[in-house]
């Protein structure tokens, strides 16, 4: 799947939240290419936490504030 910033999103990548208030890094653990609510979704989990994975919209992987920027391919 391609992110709005032009980068391919793959399982295992780590992305950092682009917001000076947070230092959260998430890892892509799954993908959903077909969804009834919107076009695709990315299953993420916060690195270093034992919480269950959550879903993020593809539009959030844009490198801009309020989204995520790629840290580790």
Q: Per-residue pLDDT tens for 11-58?
A: 999 999 998 888 899 999 998 876 555 556 899 999 998 899 999 988
Write the DSSP string, 5-71.
TSPBP-TT-EEEE--TT---EEEEEEEES--SSSS-EEEEEETT--SPPEEE-GGG-SSSTTSEEEE
**Is 64 inside any structural domain?**
yes
Q: In which band, very low, low, confident or very high, does the pLDDT at 2 lie, cut at 50, 70 and 90?
A: confident
The Cα–Cα gap between 57 and 25 comes to: 16
Q: Please tell me the total count of domains within the chain.
A: 1
Domain that holds residue 58: 14-72
**Is 60 inside any structural domain?**
yes
**Is 62 inside any structural domain?**
yes
The pTM for the full model equals: 0.82
CB-CB contact of 4 with 55 (8 Å): no
**Is 1 inside any structural domain?**
no
């Amino acid at each position: 799947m391609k992110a709005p910033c032009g980068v391919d999103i793959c399982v295992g990548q780590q992305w950092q939240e682009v917001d000076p208030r947070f230092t959260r890094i998430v890892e892509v653990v799954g993908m959903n290419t077909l969804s009834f609510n919107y076009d695709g979704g990315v299953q993420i989990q916060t690195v270093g936490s034992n919480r269950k994975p959550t879903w993020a919209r593809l539009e959030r992987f844009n490198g801009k504030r309020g989204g995520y920027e790629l840290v580790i391919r």
